[in-house]
Amino acid sequence: MTTPSSLTTPPDLRPLQAIGRAIEAAGGWIGFDRFMALALYSPGWGYYTNESRKFGLMPAGKGGKDGEPGGGSDFVTAPELSPRFGQALARQVGQALQATGTAEVWEFGAGSGALALQLLQALGAQVERYTIVDLSGSLRARQQAKLAAHAGKVHWVTELPARMRGVVVGNEVLDAMPVQLLARVAGVWHERGVALHDDRLVYADRPTALRPPVEVPGEHDYVTEIHPQGEGFVRTLADKLEAGAVFLLDYGFPEHEYYHPQRSMGTVMCHRGHLSDGDALADVGRKDITAHVNFTGVALAGQEAGLQVLGYTSQGRFLLNCGLLDGMEGGVDSANLAERAMVQKLIAEHEMGELFKVIAFAKGPLWEPMGFSAGDRSHTL
């Protein structure tokens, strides 16, 4: 394949050419996990490394500033919906810092910096150092601007040290980690990868010994994911964390729901302009690619590596346990109604409250986190 220099290649062709080179170097086929890593994290054009606006309440073309009502964006995360999200989570993080005798917060994939700002404002002197682990240079620039008032506490790293102490927070981090696709076709399991055909990216299947962690009943065609990178991430945290706690918030299911026989199309989804689609091979680098989280696999990976599960529950229950609604009993003016509407999105079952889950781990003595004081579902993992 002829590949002109990046200086003369139109931006829309860079992803195809870069992925094409990777496919050729691998003998004509790469796994979906390799494709997903390239699409999201390739320097310069990958979705999380390019300059496109990502976080906000509205799609592009609606006016306003990025990250504010009307700002151009692809999707909204909980901290952008309401500062009450970070304030509630801060109560849990503050309890964890005290219980573990630590004073540092580690945030993975800090996005716009909204959650970091909310945690820093709420926790104050409890946090001596706030470390952000983020591979995106463009997002780091936004974070630095938003967190300028806390410049003395906030630090950025692209890789972890040999040893860590403190409380780890990851909001919508696991869903962006590359997954492997498995496809049962005519009763035979394949790994679904990506190839080139007539200069187009296409799916291509190869027979494999890989299997989902549980048997999927039936002989019908079935597509799903396995999550070695996400589970490896949790093992790495377990290895490096000397003392502290881990709180991971994301959308997903326990294993028995994730690999339900009727969930036959998998969970890979793309997000752009506040719309969703299932075609990961189109508009590469210009939209997010995600997969739901298998929280049973996450829990087992942590336990096997030396972490203890502190709790697992829905985001709605977790936030309510952490006092999300405290102080919302005031008058019902227009501003108050708008705030209530956003808070409702965080906890309603048909919004983020049920689809999103929270899992927590401890390294060191066990203690009782407030976020799981009612409605803990650890027994369902």
Q: What residues does each domain of the chain span?
A: 29-380
Mean pLDDT for all residues in the chain: 91
- Rounded to two decimals, what is the model's pTM? 0.91
CA distance 275 to 374: 34
Give the count of beta carbons closer than 10 Å to the beta carbon of residue 327: 9
Class of domain 29-380: alpha beta
Query: What is residue 306's predicted lDDT score, i.e. its pLDDT?
Result: 98
The H or E element that residue 38 is part of is helix 32-41
Query: How many separate helices (H) and strands (E) can be counted in the chain?
Result: 11, 16
- Asked if residue 89 has pLDDT above 70, the reply is yes
- Helices 334-347 and 83-100, packing angle to 10 deg: 60
Q: Please state which of the ranges 13-17, 35-39, 162-166, 213-217 shows the lowest mean pLDDT.
A: 13-17
CA distance 314 to 295: 11
Average of per-residue pLDDT across 347-368: 96
Q: What is the pLDDT of residues 286-306, one digit of tens each?
A: 999 999 999 999 999 999 999
* 372 burial via Cβ count (<10 Å: 0-12, 13-18, 19+): buried
Q: Is the dihedral of CA 87, 91, 97, 103 positive or negative?
A: positive
Question: What one-character-per-residue DSSP string does 335-358 give?
Answer: HHHHHHHHHHHHH-TTTTTTTEEE
Query: pLDDT-based confidence at 139, cuts 50/70/90?
Result: confident
Average of per-residue pLDDT across 84-111: 97
CA distance 299 to 309: 7
- Asked if residue 224 has pLDDT above 70, the reply is yes
Which pair of structure tokens corresponds to residue 365? 């003595």
Q: What is the pLDDT of residues 43-75, one digit of tens each?
A: 989 999 888 777 666 565 444 444 344 446 777
Regarding predicted confidence, which is higher, 4 or 238?
A: 238
Q: What is the pLDDT of residues 169-212, one digit of tens each?
A: 999 999 999 999 999 999 999 999 999 999 999 999 999 999 99
CA distance 334 to 290: 35
Apex 193 CA angle, 203 and 191, nearest 5: 115
Average of per-residue pLDDT across 360-369: 96
Average of per-residue pLDDT across 99-109: 97
Sequence letter at residue 305: A
Query: What is residue 2's predicted lDDT score, i.e. its pLDDT?
Result: 36
